[in-house]
């Protein structure tokens, strides 16, 4: 029986729909006397706190206490910054609009909110930096810029050159379950937490720092998350710290759960970017050089902006060999939420720029964009601009050609031309774009994982690992991996919630490497257990150790029917006083990277894929419909095909949302205007392409990765760049081709104006209206 590779439903799928699958806040009822927390929020984007008097809150009914800087215990530090300590819990200088300056704890959430309104704070408003342009003008950056270079870039030496700007919007993670933590003092005086966090070990670290207690005093558990998408990689910590601080002060359990509006105005998003680029190319469209400055709007604190900027720079080539490349990355310090991880982690921003450039090259030379793209693909033996050989470069072209064929690209192109010739105000476009995404944390030390596997005397198994479940199906994959490794039915195995007291010092579940890392650690633990059990089984079966194999809940003599129940072997091992639990450990081999030189092999391997998108635009409204999408994704040998399919569908749609719908608007005061689902347009069922053909590459075994699989969590998001490129083509069709400049996201409004710009003058609707009004 094979467990790995089986198309199983998500292990909690049933619970997700029945409500049996519990999330952090569902545990509320288990904590009688729990206190609720509400922040006192500053009404300025940048201000000095002149005075703060929390005492009036105590007179509000139901209020139990307040939390201010005075409540940081002896030895504790009131700061939750994950890298740089630049995130004071109780700031004396407000650095973004609505930043909490104090908290109120009460018997009910409403009482806490009413108490917070009574807290008296006086501020001296200061000028705020609210855009990347403001930051450039005032020199407001978190760090000196990063630089990465190959060769000397002199665009003027190329036969052709172009230059341009691209503004790229941010994105709200909009996980269904908002940030949440519950903290209490356990029976032995330690601090325990349930936290919706992608990184329980870091949540433990931050709570330990804030309370000034060693880490062994803190235990963090994450049952599962109702989505995270990077938004809980570092940004779950603050809420956990407030809950822990409240519990330590009051000795009562404390719950911090952000309602949607607070979650949106207080937590970081995908980084908005500004790219200023120039590119040199020859008459065939071959890239000769690219010079690009990337500016990220990092917000008020550093958070993960540095590795995000590195990843943007690592992906500024996408699938293309650029002989000379010169990249500079700036992290603008603005008075906004602290932008953070979001599926793709800077990769999408880097990639969308090079794809924009390639399309401009094609339009400049009047060549088909898919021809120009293909000509520039990496060839076997070539290396990236940071010196990593592109192993399996052949897969890029193989996937591309297969998908062009399978999607009937050429014939549809012709049909689209006919459609466009026949329709003045509706136009269609089609585009194909590739993805090459580097797999591994670029911070090399994060590429390690542990597991703890326990076998009980009845042969049933508990698996603990350091990864967290956020809906991506990690636990389904781990279940399959453990079942396969021990030759047990799925029902014999139970995956335990992630706890820092089972596996210590874990990495965030991020960088799409959750199953690569934790899966390999589980395999290692199971291998050790099998090694313990093999001699026991061999003696029970009276065979050579080499002939022992584990399958179907039994232990067999290879290629025979002679077998014994797994549980029997376990009991025999117990009687022989052998350990029936093992830890597993894995660290990714061969990776290294030197940020000082910008060179190395940061990624263990690349995940590849391509997508074809066809869209139709309405020239009157700028409205877009995605008509059809075809995807071919390289997931190696899929660990769990239904889970992977869900990741590809969801990732693609989330990418399409970022590129076409989701627009964050901060007002002139630096207040987030789009702070709810009514003002922030998300993709949903209605945006699902009516024809959505997804395939995974066959015979794609990835050597050296758990069961030959490849990471799948993030790469498909960037396949949605095909939608943006198809939209640009459709816009061009309103005129006579040519370069289409349009910022991300291409909302209906932006599309409308881009169409206006592209249309021949006599067909411009806006111009006609103005003229009509003047008559
Ligand atoms: N899928 C779901 N359903 N929910 C999520 O929050 N996060 C994504 C991706 N897929 C996410 C998801 C992100 S940002 C990452 S890095 C990976 O899942 C993390 O999980 P993995 O490493 O196990 O793939
Ligand atoms: N990806 C996601 N999260 C991370 C990374 C990365 O490369 N590095 C540090 N945190
Ligand atoms: Mo994903 S952005 O690496 O959590």
Q: What does the pLDDT look like over 610-642, one tens digit per residue?
A: 999 999 999 999 999 999 999 999 999 999 999
**pLDDT average, residue stretch 661-690:** 96
**pLDDT average, residue stretch 91-100:** 98
- Atom of ligand 1 at shortest distance to CA of 467? 23
The pLDDT of residue 1: 75
Query: Which ligand ends up closest to the CA of 512?
Result: 1
Tokens of 262: 């607070």
Mean of the per-residue pLDDT values for the chain? 97
Q: Is 761 a residue whose pLDDT tops 90? A: no
The pLDDT of residue 769: 74
Q: Is 364 a residue whose pLDDT tops 80? A: yes
Question: Which residue, judged by its Cα, is nearest atom 10 of ligand 2?
Answer: 441
Distances (CA, A) of 15 to 227, 473, 478, 515: 15, 13, 18, 22
- Atom of ligand 1 at shortest distance to CA of 512? 22
The rounded Å distance from CA 342 to ligand 1 centre is 9
- Atom of ligand 2 at shortest distance to CA of 307? 8
The rounded Å distance from CA 425 to ligand 2 centre is 44
338 touches 87 (CB < 8 A): yes
Question: Which residue, judged by its Cα, is nearest atom 1 of ligand 2?
Answer: 511
Phi, psi of 376 (to 5 degrees): -95, 0
From CA 432, how far away is CA 427, in angstroms rounded? 17
For residue 318, name the pLDDT band (cuts at 50, 70, 90).
Answer: very high
Give the neighbor-by-neighbor strand order of the sheet with 287-299.
146-150, 324-333, 287-299, 273-281, 160-168
The pLDDT of residue 773: 74
Catalytic residue, candidates 205, 221, 714, 725 = 714
- Atom of ligand 1 at shortest distance to CA of 471? 3
The pLDDT of residue 595: 85
CB within 8 Å of 559: residues ≥ 6 apart: none
**Model pLDDT for residues 691-714, shown as the tens digit of each residue:** 999 999 999 999 999 999 999 999
Cβ 511 under 6 angstroms from ligand 1: yes
User: Best of 199, 446, 447, 468 to mutate for ligand 2, by most ligand atoms within 8 A of CB?
Assistant: 446
For 146-163, b/e burial (b = at least 16 CB within 10 A) is bebbbeebebeebeebbe
**Model pLDDT for residues 153-197, shown as the tens digit of each residue:** 998 899 999 999 999 999 999 999 999 999 999 999 999 999 999
Output the pTM of the full model: 0.97
Peptide bond into 421 cis (omega under 30): no
Tokens of 566: 């797994």
Q: What is the CA radius of gyration of the chain?
A: 28
Q: Is 376 a residue whose pLDDT tops 70? A: yes
**Model pLDDT for residues 476-497, shown as the tens digit of each residue:** 999 999 999 999 999 999 999 9
**Model pLDDT for residues 244-274, shown as the tens digit of each residue:** 999 999 999 999 999 999 999 999 999 999 9
Cβ 354 under 6 angstroms from ligand 1: no
Query: Which ligand ends up closest to the CA of 228?
Result: 1
247 touches 20 (CB < 8 A): no
- Would you call 571 exposed, middle or buried from its count of C-beta atoms within 10 A (0-12, 13-18, 19+)? middle
Distances (CA, A) of 745 to 180, 558, 721, 726, 751: 30, 58, 11, 14, 10
The rounded Å distance from CA 232 to ligand 3 centre is 9
Cβ 607 under 6 angstroms from ligand 1: no
Q: Is 763 a residue whose pLDDT tops 90? A: no
682 touches 744 (CB < 8 A): no
From CA 616, how far away is CA 726, in angstroms rounded? 9
Q: How much of the chain exceeds pLDDT 70, in percent?
A: 99
Tokens of 197: 């966090």
- Atom of ligand 3 at shortest distance to CA of 511? 3
Query: Which ligand ends up closest to the CA of 471?
Result: 1
Tokens of 193: 């937490």
Distances (CA, A) of 572 to 491, 535, 576, 582, 669: 22, 11, 6, 17, 71
Helices (H), ranges, 345-459: 347-365, 369-375, 393-406, 409-422
- Write the DSSP assignment of 65-123 as a string of letters: EEE-GGGSPTT--SB--SSSS--BSS-SEE-STT-EEEEEEESSHHHHHHHHHH-EEEE
The pLDDT of residue 623: 96
Cβ 442 under 6 angstroms from ligand 2: yes
For residue 597, name the pLDDT band (cuts at 50, 70, 90).
Answer: confident
- Encode 158-170 in three state secondary structure: CCEEEEEEEEECC
From CA 497, how far away is CA 582, in angstroms rounded? 18
Q: How much of the chain exceeds pLDDT 90, in percent?
A: 96
172 an active-site residue? no
Query: Which ligand ends up closest to the CA of 468?
Result: 1
* Closest CA relative to residue 588, chosen from 684, 511, 475, 485: 511
The rounded Å distance from CA 262 to ligand 1 centre is 23
For 257-293, b/e burial (b = at least 16 CB within 10 A) is bbeeebbbbbbbbbbbbbbebbbbbeeebbbbbbbbb
The rounded Å distance from CA 315 to ligand 2 centre is 14
Residues at CB less than 6 angstroms from ligand 3: 198, 230, 233, 341-343, 345, 510-511, 714
The pLDDT of residue 448: 98
């Amino acid at each position: 029986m094979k467990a790995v590779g089986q198309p199983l439903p998500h292990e909690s799928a049933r619970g997700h729909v029945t409500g049996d699958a519990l999330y952090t806040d569902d545990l509320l009822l288990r904590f009688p006397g729990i206190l609720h927390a509400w922040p006192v929020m500053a009404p300025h984007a940048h201000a000095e706190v002149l005075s703060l008097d929390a005492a009036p809150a105590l007179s509000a009914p139901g209020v139990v206490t307040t939390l201010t800087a005075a409540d940081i215990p002896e030895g504790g530090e009131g700061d939750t910054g994950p890298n740089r300590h630049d995130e004071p819990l109780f700031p004396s200088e407000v650095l973004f609009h609505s930043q909490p300056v104090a908290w109120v704890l009460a018997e009910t959430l409403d009482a806490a909110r009413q108490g917070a309104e009574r807290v008296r704070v006086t501020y001296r408003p200061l000028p705020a930096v609210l855009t990347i342009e403001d930051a450039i003008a005032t020199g407001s950056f978190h760090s000196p810029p990063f630089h990465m270079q190959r060769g000397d870039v002199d665009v003027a030496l190329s036969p052709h050159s172009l230059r341009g700007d691209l503004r790229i919007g941010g994105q709200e993670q909009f996980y269904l379950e908002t940030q949440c933590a519950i903290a209490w003092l356990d029976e032995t005086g330690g601090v325990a937490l349930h936290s919706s966090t992608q990184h329980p070990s870091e949540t433990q670290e931050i709570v330990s720092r804030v309370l000034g207690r060693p880490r062994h005093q803190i235990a963090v558990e994450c049952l599962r998350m109702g989505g995270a998408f990077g938004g809980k990689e570092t940004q779950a910590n603050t809420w956990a710290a407030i809950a822990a601080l409240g519990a330590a002060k009051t000795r009562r359990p404390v719950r911090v759960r952000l309602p949607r509006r607070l979650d949106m105005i207080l937590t970081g998003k995908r980084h908005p970017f500004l790219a200023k680029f120039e590119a040199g190319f020859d008459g065939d469209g071959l890239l000769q050089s690219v010079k690009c400055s990337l500016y990220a709007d990092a917000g008020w604190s550093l958070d993960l902006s540095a590795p995000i900027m590195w990843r943007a720079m690592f992906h500024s080539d996408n699938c293309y060999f650029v002989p000379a490349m010169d990249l500079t990355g700036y992290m603008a310090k603005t008075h906004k939420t602290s932008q953070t991880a979001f599926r793709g982690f800077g990769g999408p921003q880097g990639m969308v720029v090079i794809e924009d450039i390639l399309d401009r090259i094609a339009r400049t030379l009047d060549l088909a964009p898919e021809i120009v793209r293909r000509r520039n693909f990496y060839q076997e033996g070539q290396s990236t601009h940071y010196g990593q050989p592109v192993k399996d470069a052949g897969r890029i072209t193989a996937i591309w050609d297969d998908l062009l064929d399978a999607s009937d690209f050429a014939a549809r192109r012709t049909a689209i031309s006919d459609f466009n010739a026949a329709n003045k105000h509706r136009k269609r476009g089609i585009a194909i774009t590739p993805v090459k995404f580097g797999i591994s944390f670029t911070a090399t030390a994060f590429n390690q994982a542990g597991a703890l596997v326990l076998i009980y005397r009845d042969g049933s198994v508990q698996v603990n690992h350091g990864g967290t479940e956020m809906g991506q199906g990690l636990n389904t994959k781990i279940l399959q991996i453990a079942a396969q490794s021990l030759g047990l039915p799925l029902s014999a195995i139970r995956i335990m919630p992630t706890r820092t007291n089972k596996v210590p010092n874990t990495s965030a579940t991020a960088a799409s490497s959750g199953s690569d890392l934790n899966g390999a650690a589980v395999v290692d633990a199971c291998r050790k257990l099998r090694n313990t059990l093999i001699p026991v089984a061999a003696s029970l079966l009276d065979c050579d150790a080499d002939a022992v194999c584990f399958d179907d809940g039994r232990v067999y003599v290879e290629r025979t029917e002679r077998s014994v129940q797994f549980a029997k072997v376990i009991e025999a091992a117990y009687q022989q006083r052998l350990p029936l639990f093992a830890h597993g450990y894995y660290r990714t081999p061969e990776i290294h990277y030197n940020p000082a030189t910008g060179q190395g092999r940061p990624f263990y391997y690349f995940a590849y894929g391509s997508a074809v998108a066809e869209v139709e635009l309405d020239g009157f409204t700028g409205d877009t419909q995605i008509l059809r999408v075809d995807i071919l994704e390289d997931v190696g040998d899929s660990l769990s095909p239904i889970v992977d399919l869900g990741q590809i569908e969801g990732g693609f749609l989330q990418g399409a949302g970022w590129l076409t719908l989701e627009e964050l608007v901060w007002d002139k005061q630096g207040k987030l205007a789009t702070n709810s689902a009514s003002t922030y347009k998300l993709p949903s069922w209605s945006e699902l392409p009516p024809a959505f053909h997804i395939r995974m590459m066959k015979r794609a075994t990835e050597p050296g990765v758990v069961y030959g699989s490849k990471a799948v969590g993030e790469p498909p998001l960037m396949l949605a760049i095909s939608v943006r490129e198809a939209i640009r083509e459709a816009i061009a069709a309103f005129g006579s081709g040519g370069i289409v400049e349009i910022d991300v996201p291409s909302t209906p409004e932006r599309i409308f104006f881009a169409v206006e710009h592209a249309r021949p003058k006599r067909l411009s609707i806006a111009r006609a209206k103005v003229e009509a009004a003047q008559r």
